[in-house]
Amino acid sequence: MRIVEVNGIKIGGNNPPLLIAGPCVIESEASAVRHAKELKAIARRTGFSFIYKSSFDKANRTSVDSYRGPGLKEGLRILKKVKSELKVSVLSDVHCRNEIKEAAKVLDVIQIPAFLSRQTDLIIEAARTGKVVNIKKGQFLAPWDMKNVVRKVESAGCRKIILTDRGVSFGYNNLVSDFRAIPIMKEMGYPVIYDATHSVQMPGGMGDKSGGDRKFVPYLALAASACGADGIFIEVHENPDRAPSDGPNMIKLSDLEAILKKVKKVREAVS
Protein backbone atom coordinates (compact mmCIF):
# COMPACT_ATOMS: atom_id res chain seq x y z
CA MET A 1 0.00 0.00 0.00
CA ARG A 2 1.15 3.52 -0.79
CA ILE A 3 1.63 5.67 2.30
CA VAL A 4 0.02 9.08 1.84
CA GLU A 5 1.60 12.00 3.68
CA VAL A 6 -0.04 15.25 4.77
CA ASN A 7 2.27 17.74 6.49
CA GLY A 8 4.22 15.00 8.19
CA ILE A 9 1.17 12.85 8.95
CA LYS A 10 1.65 9.42 7.42
CA ILE A 11 -1.58 7.66 6.52
CA GLY A 12 -1.80 3.93 5.91
CA GLY A 13 0.24 0.87 6.74
CA ASN A 14 1.43 0.58 10.33
CA ASN A 15 1.22 4.31 10.98
CA PRO A 16 -1.08 5.69 13.69
CA PRO A 17 -4.77 5.73 12.72
CA LEU A 18 -6.09 8.97 11.28
CA LEU A 19 -8.95 10.98 12.74
CA ILE A 20 -10.73 13.31 10.33
CA ALA A 21 -13.19 15.28 12.45
CA GLY A 22 -15.03 18.54 12.93
CA PRO A 23 -18.51 20.03 12.65
CA CYS A 24 -20.36 19.32 9.41
CA VAL A 25 -20.35 22.96 8.34
CA ILE A 26 -18.45 26.06 9.44
CA GLU A 27 -20.66 28.16 11.72
CA SER A 28 -18.23 30.87 12.85
CA GLU A 29 -14.53 31.48 13.39
CA ALA A 30 -14.87 31.08 17.15
CA SER A 31 -16.73 27.78 16.80
CA ALA A 32 -14.20 26.39 14.33
CA VAL A 33 -11.19 27.29 16.48
CA ARG A 34 -12.86 25.98 19.63
CA HIS A 35 -13.77 22.62 18.06
CA ALA A 36 -10.39 22.19 16.37
CA LYS A 37 -8.48 22.92 19.57
CA GLU A 38 -10.42 20.30 21.53
CA LEU A 39 -10.23 17.74 18.71
CA LYS A 40 -6.47 18.15 18.42
CA ALA A 41 -6.13 17.46 22.14
CA ILE A 42 -8.42 14.41 21.99
CA ALA A 43 -6.48 12.97 19.04
CA ARG A 44 -3.19 13.42 20.87
CA ARG A 45 -4.51 11.72 24.02
CA THR A 46 -5.89 8.74 22.11
CA GLY A 47 -2.96 8.17 19.75
CA PHE A 48 -4.58 9.33 16.52
CA SER A 49 -3.11 11.67 13.94
CA PHE A 50 -5.58 14.45 13.15
CA ILE A 51 -6.97 16.47 10.25
CA TYR A 52 -9.66 19.07 10.91
CA LYS A 53 -12.72 18.92 8.65
CA SER A 54 -15.53 21.40 8.17
CA SER A 55 -17.36 22.54 5.04
CA PHE A 56 -17.35 26.13 3.78
CA ASP A 57 -20.38 25.35 1.61
CA LYS A 58 -22.82 22.45 1.81
CA ALA A 59 -24.02 22.58 -1.77
CA ASN A 60 -26.04 19.36 -1.52
CA ARG A 61 -28.48 20.22 1.28
CA THR A 62 -31.92 18.64 1.02
CA SER A 63 -33.80 21.95 1.12
CA VAL A 64 -33.07 25.25 -0.59
CA ASP A 65 -33.79 26.91 2.77
CA SER A 66 -31.12 24.96 4.69
CA TYR A 67 -27.97 26.67 5.99
CA ARG A 68 -25.08 26.06 3.61
CA GLY A 69 -22.18 27.71 5.40
CA PRO A 70 -20.22 30.98 5.10
CA GLY A 71 -19.19 30.40 1.50
CA LEU A 72 -15.84 29.98 -0.23
CA LYS A 73 -14.05 33.21 0.68
CA GLU A 74 -15.08 33.49 4.33
CA GLY A 75 -14.91 29.74 4.90
CA LEU A 76 -11.35 29.52 3.60
CA ARG A 77 -10.37 32.50 5.75
CA ILE A 78 -11.64 30.67 8.82
CA LEU A 79 -9.93 27.41 7.88
CA LYS A 80 -6.69 29.30 7.30
CA LYS A 81 -7.06 30.79 10.79
CA VAL A 82 -7.57 27.32 12.29
CA LYS A 83 -4.58 25.99 10.36
CA SER A 84 -2.16 28.74 11.34
CA GLU A 85 -3.29 29.24 14.93
CA LEU A 86 -3.52 25.58 15.95
CA LYS A 87 -0.94 24.09 13.56
CA VAL A 88 -3.33 21.46 12.22
CA SER A 89 -3.99 20.25 8.68
CA VAL A 90 -7.40 21.11 7.23
CA LEU A 91 -9.82 19.40 4.86
CA SER A 92 -12.97 20.60 3.16
CA ASP A 93 -15.06 19.56 0.18
CA VAL A 94 -15.37 21.22 -3.20
CA HIS A 95 -18.41 21.08 -5.44
CA CYS A 96 -17.32 22.71 -8.69
CA ARG A 97 -14.10 23.30 -10.59
CA ASN A 98 -14.03 27.04 -10.07
CA GLU A 99 -13.66 26.57 -6.31
CA ILE A 100 -10.55 24.45 -6.55
CA LYS A 101 -7.89 27.05 -7.33
CA GLU A 102 -8.71 29.13 -4.25
CA ALA A 103 -9.38 26.11 -2.06
CA ALA A 104 -5.97 24.63 -2.88
CA LYS A 105 -4.27 27.73 -1.45
CA VAL A 106 -5.56 26.81 2.03
CA LEU A 107 -6.64 23.17 2.16
CA ASP A 108 -4.18 20.37 2.83
CA VAL A 109 -6.69 17.78 1.65
CA ILE A 110 -9.31 18.42 -1.02
CA GLN A 111 -12.38 16.26 -0.58
CA ILE A 112 -14.66 15.09 -3.38
CA PRO A 113 -18.16 14.58 -1.91
CA ALA A 114 -19.86 11.21 -2.33
CA PHE A 115 -22.55 12.62 -4.62
CA LEU A 116 -19.81 13.91 -6.96
CA SER A 117 -17.53 10.89 -6.94
CA ARG A 118 -18.15 10.24 -10.65
CA GLN A 119 -17.65 13.84 -11.81
CA THR A 120 -14.56 13.36 -13.96
CA ASP A 121 -13.67 17.02 -14.57
CA LEU A 122 -13.99 17.91 -10.89
CA ILE A 123 -11.83 14.98 -9.82
CA ILE A 124 -9.10 15.65 -12.37
CA GLU A 125 -9.01 19.37 -11.54
CA ALA A 126 -8.55 18.53 -7.85
CA ALA A 127 -5.83 16.00 -8.70
CA ARG A 128 -3.90 18.60 -10.70
CA THR A 129 -3.42 20.80 -7.63
CA GLY A 130 -0.82 18.45 -6.19
CA LYS A 131 -2.79 18.26 -2.95
CA VAL A 132 -3.95 15.07 -1.30
CA VAL A 133 -7.38 14.15 -2.67
CA ASN A 134 -9.91 12.35 -0.47
CA ILE A 135 -12.70 10.79 -2.48
CA LYS A 136 -15.82 9.64 -0.69
CA LYS A 137 -17.38 6.59 -2.30
CA GLY A 138 -20.82 7.45 -3.61
CA GLN A 139 -23.62 5.64 -1.82
CA PHE A 140 -24.75 4.55 -5.29
CA LEU A 141 -21.40 2.87 -6.09
CA ALA A 142 -20.12 -0.63 -5.42
CA PRO A 143 -16.70 -0.61 -3.73
CA TRP A 144 -15.04 -2.19 -6.77
CA ASP A 145 -16.31 0.69 -8.90
CA MET A 146 -13.90 3.00 -7.06
CA LYS A 147 -11.02 1.62 -9.12
CA ASN A 148 -12.32 3.75 -12.01
CA VAL A 149 -12.31 6.83 -9.77
CA VAL A 150 -8.73 6.06 -8.70
CA ARG A 151 -7.70 5.84 -12.35
CA LYS A 152 -9.13 9.30 -12.99
CA VAL A 153 -6.98 10.79 -10.23
CA GLU A 154 -3.91 8.90 -11.37
CA SER A 155 -4.47 10.06 -14.96
CA ALA A 156 -3.69 13.59 -13.75
CA GLY A 157 -0.38 12.42 -12.29
CA CYS A 158 -1.60 12.34 -8.68
CA ARG A 159 -0.77 9.46 -6.35
CA LYS A 160 -1.85 11.26 -3.17
CA ILE A 161 -5.18 9.52 -2.80
CA ILE A 162 -7.39 8.62 0.14
CA LEU A 163 -10.64 6.69 -0.29
CA THR A 164 -13.51 7.03 2.19
CA ASP A 165 -16.47 4.70 2.58
CA ARG A 166 -19.81 6.04 3.85
CA GLY A 167 -22.22 3.20 3.29
CA VAL A 168 -24.51 2.37 0.41
CA SER A 169 -28.15 3.22 -0.34
CA PHE A 170 -30.54 0.67 1.14
CA GLY A 171 -34.02 1.42 -0.13
CA TYR A 172 -35.42 4.90 0.36
CA ASN A 173 -33.94 7.34 2.93
CA ASN A 174 -31.60 4.77 4.43
CA LEU A 175 -27.99 3.61 4.23
CA VAL A 176 -26.28 0.39 5.24
CA SER A 177 -22.57 -0.38 5.61
CA ASP A 178 -21.03 -3.34 3.82
CA PHE A 179 -17.67 -3.74 5.51
CA ARG A 180 -16.32 -5.77 2.60
CA ALA A 181 -15.80 -2.34 1.05
CA ILE A 182 -12.80 -1.62 3.25
CA PRO A 183 -10.57 -4.54 2.19
CA ILE A 184 -11.84 -4.30 -1.39
CA MET A 185 -10.84 -0.65 -1.70
CA LYS A 186 -7.55 -1.21 0.13
CA GLU A 187 -6.60 -3.60 -2.66
CA MET A 188 -6.50 -0.52 -4.93
CA GLY A 189 -3.30 0.49 -3.16
CA TYR A 190 -4.33 3.53 -1.14
CA PRO A 191 -5.42 4.23 2.45
CA VAL A 192 -9.11 3.74 3.25
CA ILE A 193 -11.00 5.81 5.82
CA TYR A 194 -14.43 4.96 7.21
CA ASP A 195 -17.02 7.72 7.63
CA ALA A 196 -18.87 6.60 10.75
CA THR A 197 -21.32 9.49 10.97
CA HIS A 198 -22.59 9.85 7.41
CA SER A 199 -23.08 6.08 7.39
CA VAL A 200 -25.89 6.47 9.94
CA GLN A 201 -27.51 9.29 7.99
CA MET A 202 -31.03 8.96 6.61
CA PRO A 203 -30.86 11.13 3.48
CA GLY A 204 -33.99 13.25 3.16
CA GLY A 205 -35.49 11.17 5.94
CA MET A 206 -37.16 14.13 7.65
CA GLY A 207 -38.84 15.52 4.55
CA ASP A 208 -37.03 18.84 4.17
CA LYS A 209 -33.80 17.61 5.79
CA SER A 210 -31.83 14.47 6.45
CA GLY A 211 -32.24 12.39 9.56
CA GLY A 212 -29.90 9.94 11.23
CA ASP A 213 -29.24 7.89 14.34
CA ARG A 214 -25.98 8.71 16.10
CA LYS A 215 -26.29 5.88 18.64
CA PHE A 216 -24.95 3.45 16.03
CA VAL A 217 -21.77 5.45 15.28
CA PRO A 218 -19.58 3.71 17.92
CA TYR A 219 -20.55 0.24 16.68
CA LEU A 220 -19.79 1.03 13.06
CA ALA A 221 -16.49 2.72 13.94
CA LEU A 222 -15.40 -0.38 15.84
CA ALA A 223 -16.40 -2.68 12.99
CA ALA A 224 -14.49 -0.56 10.47
CA SER A 225 -11.38 -0.66 12.62
CA ALA A 226 -11.65 -4.44 12.86
CA CYS A 227 -11.87 -4.60 9.06
CA GLY A 228 -8.63 -2.66 8.58
CA ALA A 229 -9.69 0.95 8.08
CA ASP A 230 -6.70 3.32 8.21
CA GLY A 231 -8.70 5.96 10.01
CA ILE A 232 -12.10 7.21 11.06
CA PHE A 233 -14.06 10.19 9.73
CA ILE A 234 -16.44 11.50 12.39
CA GLU A 235 -18.41 14.72 12.36
CA VAL A 236 -18.79 16.15 15.85
CA HIS A 237 -20.45 19.11 17.49
CA GLU A 238 -20.65 20.57 21.00
CA ASN A 239 -24.43 20.34 20.77
CA PRO A 240 -25.48 18.26 17.75
CA ASP A 241 -29.19 18.80 18.33
CA ARG A 242 -28.67 22.52 17.73
CA ALA A 243 -26.30 22.11 14.76
CA PRO A 244 -27.45 23.73 11.49
CA SER A 245 -26.45 20.70 9.40
CA ASP A 246 -26.42 16.92 9.94
CA GLY A 247 -27.22 17.17 13.64
CA PRO A 248 -28.98 13.77 13.93
CA ASN A 249 -25.94 11.81 12.76
CA MET A 250 -23.17 13.90 14.37
CA ILE A 251 -21.88 12.81 17.75
CA LYS A 252 -21.40 15.03 20.77
CA LEU A 253 -17.85 16.31 21.10
CA SER A 254 -17.69 15.16 24.71
CA ASP A 255 -18.42 11.55 23.64
CA LEU A 256 -15.63 11.30 21.08
CA GLU A 257 -12.69 10.38 23.29
CA ALA A 258 -14.35 7.27 24.71
CA ILE A 259 -15.21 6.07 21.19
CA LEU A 260 -11.67 6.60 19.91
CA LYS A 261 -10.13 4.71 22.84
CA LYS A 262 -12.22 1.66 21.94
CA VAL A 263 -11.43 2.01 18.24
CA LYS A 264 -7.72 2.13 19.04
CA LYS A 265 -7.96 -1.03 21.15
CA VAL A 266 -9.69 -2.90 18.34
CA ARG A 267 -7.06 -1.75 15.88
CA GLU A 268 -4.27 -2.92 18.17
CA ALA A 269 -5.97 -6.28 18.67
CA VAL A 270 -6.37 -7.06 14.97
CA SER A 271 -2.92 -5.81 14.01
CATH of the domain at 117: 3.20.20.70
The reported pLDDT for the residue numbered 203 is 85
The reported pLDDT for the residue numbered 9 is 98
Q: How many domains does the chain have?
A: 1
Cα distance between residue 91 and residue 89, in whole Å: 7
Nearest to 216 by CA among 176, 270, 183: 176
The reported pLDDT for the residue numbered 99 is 97
* Global model pTM greater than 0.85: yes
209 three-class SS:
coil
Q: What is the pLDDT of residues 122-146, one digit of tens each?
A: 999 999 999 999 999 999 999 999 9
The per-residue DSSP string of 133-166 comes to EEEEPPTTS-GGGHHHHHHHHHHTT---EEEEE-
The reported pLDDT for the residue numbered 242 is 94
The reported pLDDT for the residue numbered 59 is 84
Nearest to 264 by CA among 45, 17, 3: 17
The reported pLDDT for the residue numbered 60 is 80
∠ CA 195-190-51 to the nearest 5 degrees?
50
Give the helix ranges, DSSP H, for the chain: 29-46, 72-86, 97-103, 120-127, 146-155, 181-186, 217-226, 256-270
Low-confidence ranges of the chain (pLDDT < 50): none
- Identify the DSSP state of 188: T
The residue range of the domain holding 153 is 4-270
User: How many CB atoms sit inside 10 A of residue 144's CB?
Assistant: 13
The reported pLDDT for the residue numbered 147 is 98
